Structure 1
Amino acid sequence: MEAAKLLCDSLFRWLENREECAGELSKLTQELENVPQGSNIFQAFRAVLSRSAASASVSPTPTATEAGVSSSAFNKASELIKEDEKVGTSIQKLLRDLKVRCGEDLKVRCGEAPLGAHADELDCEVTSQLMWALARRSKTPVPLDFLRGFNRATFFRHMTPGGLAPAEASDFICKALGLDRSPEITSSLKVSAKEMVKNIELIGIKAEAGSKALGATGLGISLYDLIGECEKMVKGNRVTEASKFLQDSSRQILEGQQKLKEQLDAMHEIIQKLVQMKNLIQNLGGYSLSMNEDEQRIMAYIMGTCTDNTVVSWLQELTHQNEFVNLLRFFRENLGRIFLDLTNPSGDDIDIVFVAHGRIVDLFMPAGGLVPTPNIRDTVIYSPWNCAIDSNTAFGIAQGFIRVTNREFYNNMVGNIAQFEPNPLPDHWNSMRGSLHNIPGILLSPVTQEERAWDFFHQFWTNRGMEIEDRVIIPYVVPQDEVNAFREIPLYMFIFVTSCILSIHDRTATVHLAACLGRGGSPARPEEWRTQYAYTSDGTVMTVNMDDRDMDTELFRALRSLFGGR
């Protein structure tokens, strides 16, 4: 975002200028302290004030020169004061512009009612944009969405309560990023990002000289007002007090400058650590049934930053952590390389279609759990609960042309359609973002080498035919000879892993599921199923009318071998 870049550049200009200002004020104070007794000290200070407000081309007044205040001291102080006022005003305008832009982007990404309190969401986005500008300034390749995820899980964790306790989460994050451990991550980083933004807000704000509210930080001190305050003191014959005030103000200015510099340095340190973590994920080695040190660091980062209780609970088991890392490898290999071939290289929403064996279980969870992060726009389920799909339906989902008006149901065990077709039958697909009810747990199983479908999908994948414009098909197919590394996994973990991969590529996605959702041996829950969407009786299959549509025979053959048909 250009507004963040301009603000970042102005902050560094301000830092340099304030450091010089502090030095020049100290020099000027020393010169004024050395004014010979009997000189008109009040006139000398008035000369400082008038000289500071005037053009740099005007020479200091004779009174000041006669008093022993050098022309170079006046000129330098004047130039720096004028520059300080100019940059401070610019920073305030740029910060306002950045907040407006971030607010507009939040409405686009999160809707009119963003997650969490709007003010906190805005602060989080402003902080993330500033960190991204810092990263680009230092030519550090870190994705913006990766920064957003980190900030939401640390400095703004209160917006999305969940996951581990804050102290435990901080410990995991510090371990993962190689930071000094502490009960709170903000302590190990010396200062929080939120405080950094608050300090930036003080720059350029007019305040009375000597104001404790702003003067304590040295960020809001107006140099014009500072010299004016000195003038009042000298006029009242409090020359020693004026000199001390000027020296103290110089020190406070330097302290304020140093504090903001340390905050920016701390943010840069975080950025460097996050780049290292991103590289660890992108450079995962081969599939394994155990984790090495780098993979343990990845898991520590995931555990520390995840605020989804369901995901964190699932990851508590070591075997599940191994499965997660292998799933991360699977998606990194099969999704990461596809981003390079998509029609729109960055910034736009893509559609990801999961193809797998599926079933539902009697473990309910909020539908919103399948839309866990802002980079998952929605998750769409097509069949009613306790319903299988055939190859026509799977093909329609994969290609993106399926329509509610084209769906049909059949059941080879029940002859009367009234006994198995949902009633009522919704006139829309089952959107998880739009649902306020709980859904049954969805488990996905991989296609293994023993199945005929494996050869079709493996060949199709080898030919890189799994992306159609901006629609990506991800079949849950076990990599060759890696059957022990992949098991039945909840859909919410598939989506969470997808979110992780999307974040390091700065992409967003809508997830679509092409899988059968029969209950198997799980207890029937018709009331809950109907409340959330709809359901069918055992053995029912949903199909769609293909309308003589041109079909990709290779993809359809692969889906036919997995789902069958009439």
Structure 2
Amino acid sequence: MEAEDILCDSLFRWLENREGCAEELSKLAQELKDVHWRSNIAQSLPFICLGLASPIVLPRMPTASTEKDEKIGTSIQKLLRDLKVRCGEDLKVRCGEDLKVRCGEDLKVRCGEAPLGAHADELDCEVTSRLMWALSRRKDTPVPLDFLRGFNRATFFRHMTPGGLAPDEVSDLISKALGLVLFTEITSSRKVSAKEMVKNIELIGIKAEAGSEALGATGLGISLYDLIVKSEELLKGNRVTEARKVLRDSAGEILDGQRKLKEQLDAMQEIIQKLFRMKNLIKNLGGYSLSMTEDQQRIMAYIMGTCTDNTVVSWLQGLPHQIEFVNLLRFFQERLVLILEDLTNPSGDDIHIVFVAHGSIVDQFMPAGGLVPTPNITDTVIYSPWNCAIHPNTAFAIAKGFIQVTNREFYTRTEYGHIGHYEPTDLPNHWNSMRRSLHDIPVILLYPLTPEDDAWMFFHQLWLNRTPEINDRVIIPYLVPQDEVNAFGEIPLYIFIFALSQILSIDDKTATVHLAACLSLKERPEEWRRQYAYTSVKTFMTVNMVDRDMDLELFMALRSLFDGNRR
């Protein structure tokens, strides 16, 4: 059982026991009120003889209830600490050393060079996501952890990832998508505040006196044992009215805190149930279409509301692009639905997905990080320099995963059709990692393979014969279904990857994306000089294939697609 599941179970046991304890305290307070301490004390309560006075002794709370409250409260504190440590360690791994280089000192704090918890919001977001994950399993409405992370970062913790639509638009879209009341009202209320819920849980098991500032108005940290001791001390001094007030007020505080925390958990469960339905809507999109159903409109409202990438949100604004995006989700579902459940990397790392397509670049620029849009996209790797085509050998080496920087070669065609060796200027000794890049990159467009392309039949047959899956790698050609040509067109790579990230999130998978496509353009803007490398016009990259095992079916498909680059 996961740490968050144990914590969740303990939390519900504590809430149930706490309610019973509050009732016992109320009974004790009522007993002190009903029994006149001067005339009926002998019939109601035993004596403790202290000098001439005969003070009242408080009837003890049932030992089992008091001990159970103390034990569960202490356990919750330990479980929460352990969960935070685990979440902090996971955040360090997920952020990675290369991101520290890319994003500077702020991310160093977030990702582990500062003490655990230095970036409280990041940690609270992860703890909240894991608690919601446990709640979803407890109620048999499982929602993937990564799906919950995306929701929380876009709603309760949206300030951590600025970008996307304005808050009012986000609230309207998410409310429409999930069938909630206006989300700005929800997230600003104590009832559903994720941060408030975590803070309340942190108070459980913290010993403090009733009414102290440490407790606020929640009563969650009141120690029942200490409360009984304090009440007995008051009674020893014949301060019956004060003792009764402490018991009565503490019972009210405890019950109020218990109810508020339960309301927060119930509200979270309601959100989880709606996210569960949204996840299932995305998993069951049905066939390709040139229009959108009401459910698909809700899906797009949710995706746009939770997206914090301005470039993606801008592209998704128009209805034609939204229809195209829904079809792209179907495209990935169709190709990955039977793969993701069983596909794992033996080393425990993420899977590798290779996009194969006609490609080009345009004279528009975007941040390189736009190709790593969500945490479940570990990296996007581009192999050829800008303005460079690729040879079928290169595409095959990328697809199979054996391409090496030391094995690449470049050739260019002269105006007379001759092919000569070419050496790009200042070519780095590594592939072009978008995760590591600090600069803007040209926008990459991908074009679908249609039945009119010679390569279409090769890839279609390859797909029919077997899934293009090689160990931890999945090869996804941008291959239009035979009867759905009108449903697809040229799509920016950043949209392709963002759609993939949505499908990965509902399966709790992470992936590194590899691109096998040409990146040609006749112009060479000045911005290219700052990002990786570029080549002259009509240049292509190839690799040496000597002593390589050949998958002839795959190689023939790739050669039919990139064959023009070797002539």
| Same fold per superposition (TM over 0.5) | yes
1:125 matched to 2:126? The reply is yes
Q: 1:483 to 1:366 in 2, by over 3 A?
A: same
Give the corresponding residue for 1:487: 489
Residue number among 111, 116, 121 corresponding to 2:96 in the alignment: 111
Q: 1:303 to 1:34 in 2, by over 3 A?
A: same
Report deviation, 1:347.
6.5
Give the corresponding residue for 1:26: 26
Report deviation, 1:105.
1.1
Report deviation, 1:41.
6.4
Give the corresponding residue for 1:307: 308
Give the corresponding residue for 1:90: 75
1:443 matched to 2:428? The reply is no
Paired residues of 1:215 and 1:252 also in contact (CA < 8 A): no
Give the corresponding residue for 1:3: 3
Q: 1:45 to 1:233 in 2, by over 3 A?
A: farther
Report deviation, 1:28.
1.7
Q: 1:89 to 1:334 in 2, by over 3 A?
A: same
Deviates more, 1:109-118 or 1:355-364: 109-118
Q: 1:446 to 1:115 in 2, by over 3 A?
A: farther
Partners of 2:63 and 2:252 lie apart in 1 by: 19
Unaligned runs of 5+ in 1: 49-62
* Letter paired with 2:276: V
Q: Deviations over 1:260-279 (max 9, x none)?
A: 11111111111111110010
Q: 1:448 to 1:405 in 2, by over 3 A?
A: same
Partners of 2:78 and 2:57 lie apart in 1 by: 40
1:477 matched to 2:476? The reply is no
Q: Deviations over 1:217-261 (max 9, x none)?
A: 110111122223323433444322321221111111111001111
Report deviation, 1:213.
3.8
Paired residues of 1:134 and 1:268 also in contact (CA < 8 A): yes
Paired residues of 1:182 and 1:188 also in contact (CA < 8 A): no
Give the corresponding residue for 2:364: 363
Report deviation, 1:338.
1.6
Report deviation, 1:27.
1.3
Aligned to 2:437, the other structure's residue is in SS state: coil
Aligned to 2:409, the other structure's residue is in SS state: strand
What is the total number of aligned residue pairs between the two structures? 542
Aligned to 1:141, the other structure's residue is in SS state: coil
Partners of 1:557 and 1:465 lie apart in 2 by: 16
Partners of 2:514 and 2:556 lie apart in 1 by: 20
Report deviation, 1:138.
1.8
Partners of 1:42 and 1:187 lie apart in 2 by: 54
Partners of 1:186 and 1:374 lie apart in 2 by: 23
Unaligned runs of 5+ in 2: 49-53, 101-106, 111-118
Root mean square deviation, CA, Å? 2.5
Give the corresponding residue for 2:114: none
* Letter paired with 1:273: K
Partners of 1:516 and 1:263 lie apart in 2 by: 52
Paired residues of 1:217 and 1:253 also in contact (CA < 8 A): yes
Partners of 2:189 and 2:553 lie apart in 1 by: 55
Q: Deviations over 1:138-195 (max 9, x none)?
A: 2222111111111111111111100011221121111101111243441589321111
Report deviation, 1:214.
0.5
* Letter paired with 2:543: V
> TM-score, with normalisation over the residues of structure 1?
0.91
Give the corresponding residue for 1:461: 463
Give the corresponding residue for 2:175: 174
Q: Deviations over 1:296-323 (max 9, x none)?
A: 0000000110001110011111111111
Q: 1:410 to 1:47 in 2, by over 3 A?
A: farther
Give the corresponding residue for 1:549: 548
Report deviation, 1:481.
1.4
Q: Deviations over 1:83-131 (max 9, x none)?
A: 1111111111111100111111111111254599432221111111111
Partners of 1:175 and 1:437 lie apart in 2 by: 37
Paired residues of 1:116 and 1:159 also in contact (CA < 8 A): no
Q: 1:143 to 1:529 in 2, by over 3 A?
A: same
Aligned to 2:184, the other structure's residue is in SS state: coil
* Letter paired with 1:308: D
Give the corresponding residue for 2:66: 81
Partners of 1:491 and 1:292 lie apart in 2 by: 26
Deviates more, 1:265-274 or 1:203-212: 203-212
Partners of 1:116 and 1:88 lie apart in 2 by: 31
Aligned to 1:340, the other structure's residue is in SS state: coil
* Letter paired with 2:135: L
* Letter paired with 1:313: S
Report deviation, 1:77.
2.9
* Letter paired with 1:454: W
Give the corresponding residue for 1:413: 414
Deviates more, 1:180-189 or 1:428-437: 180-189
1:187-202 residue pairs with structure 2 within 5 A? 187=188, 190-202=191-203
1:138 matched to 2:139? The reply is yes
Q: 1:188 to 1:473 in 2, by over 3 A?
A: farther
Partners of 1:165 and 1:560 lie apart in 2 by: 47
Paired residues of 1:154 and 1:185 also in contact (CA < 8 A): no
Q: 1:43 to 1:386 in 2, by over 3 A?
A: farther
Query: Matched residues, percent identical?
Result: 74
Q: 1:488 to 1:188 in 2, by over 3 A?
A: farther
1:349 matched to 2:332? The reply is no
* Letter paired with 2:80: L
Give the corresponding residue for 2:273: 272
Partners of 2:71 and 2:47 lie apart in 1 by: 22
* Letter paired with 2:154: A
Q: 1:475 to 1:409 in 2, by over 3 A?
A: same
Partners of 1:282 and 1:368 lie apart in 2 by: 27
Partners of 1:347 and 1:141 lie apart in 2 by: 23
Partners of 2:519 and 2:29 lie apart in 1 by: 80
Q: Deviations over 1:516-537 (max 9, x none)?
A: 00015xx421x32232011111
* Letter paired with 2:528: W
Paired residues of 1:439 and 1:532 also in contact (CA < 8 A): yes
